[in-house]
Homo-oligomer: A and B are copies of this chain.
Amino acid sequence: MDLSERKLKILQAIIGDFIRTAEPMGSRTLSKKFDMGLSPATIRNEMSDLEEMGYLTHPHTSAGRVPSDKAYRLYVNDLMEKRTLSEAEKQLIRNKLRSNLSELEKTVQHAARLLSEITMLTAFAITPSQEADKLKGINLLPVDERTVVLMIVAESGKVSNTTVRLKDPYSMESLELLSKSMTYTYKGKALSEVLTLDIIQTFRTDMEALSRLAANIMPNFLGILKRMLDVDLFLDGYSNIFSFPEYNDIDKAKMFLELLNKKEALTKTLMERDDGIMVTIGNENTDDRMQECSLITATYHIDGKLLGKLGVIGPTRMKYDEVISVIEYITENLSESFRLSGGEEQE
């Protein structure tokens, strides 16, 4: 059976109304609310067809019809009109993202918060995986006689550092020498690669003073590398789900929040997603616990290379058009701000 013009109209009406009200719609209500010159009985027949085709369900015999995941998919792909954001909304997004450029993590965290505030959903963001990033330089800077700062610069421009307190005092010469020889040894190697190396093997020196210093520094060096490889996950707007009647059931709310609490699993799920805007609806999600949720994610870029993800999670009944527009605009802006990163355009 084909989706006639009329069927599409009816389906669209049901989906649109359900997204707003969360109430199953009956034939009578539909015929009154959307004046399309058809009697409830006719609509009933059409609805019955639509149900047979898998676009509608009803929770029980005497309830109205509710869109299925398949219907949402159709809606997202074909029926939905793309929302354009108002100038005020755009302004808001631009301002909030501009104001805090200096550090990747903070900016991404802010983006997640912003997204959750605008969409009223639970939002999350992950920083890019730095797997492929390579070491560019290793600096050791004197702070005081027993303290040095170890700073690692990656090719992507990411800089990480830690303060190291040493057991013994050091000389400026050995410090300089160590940083030079570390750079020499590890420059151009991928961060992940260095971590797998046996440091003692790859980095050895005959000078006693130097090797003592190195013994102090090396654990920190590895620690930083590990940290740089970490993908950070930021979540915001937990309590937003309570504004959805589908989560008035305490057990569902609990399940949802527990899902969000499994940060490792969530990070993994996000990292595996396709690039660009990706929408998965209800049963399209592989995770069991997400069968009643929709997930919308998008990709942002850093210097056109490294990819991070940003998105929302909510009930399958969500305002796909609005949410998608907002996510799109935010990721665009986020990529944009990272392009002129370092803040040269800050006021």
Interfacial residues, chain A to chain B (CB-CB below 8 A): 101-103, 106, 136-137, 139, 141, 143, 147, 149, 151, 153, 157-159, 161-167, 216, 219-220, 223-224, 227, 237-239, 242, 248, 250, 253-254, 257-258, 260-261, 340-344, 346-347
Contacts and interface: CB of A to CB of B under 8 A. Distances in A.
Contact of A223 (B101, B149, B237, B238): B101
A162 B103 contact: yes
Chain copies in the assembly?
2
Contact of A346 (B219, B237, B238, B343): B219
A237 B102 CA distance: 29
Chain A binding surface SS class: mixed
Contacts of A158: 163
Nearest to A223: B102
B163 A157 contact: yes
A167 B343 CA distance: 11
B227 A103 contact: yes
A248 B254 CA distance: 10
Given A102-B162, A102-B223, 8 more contacts: A137-B143, A157-B163, A159-B163, A163-B342, A220-B342, A220-B346, A239-B254, A242-B250
B165 A341 contact: yes
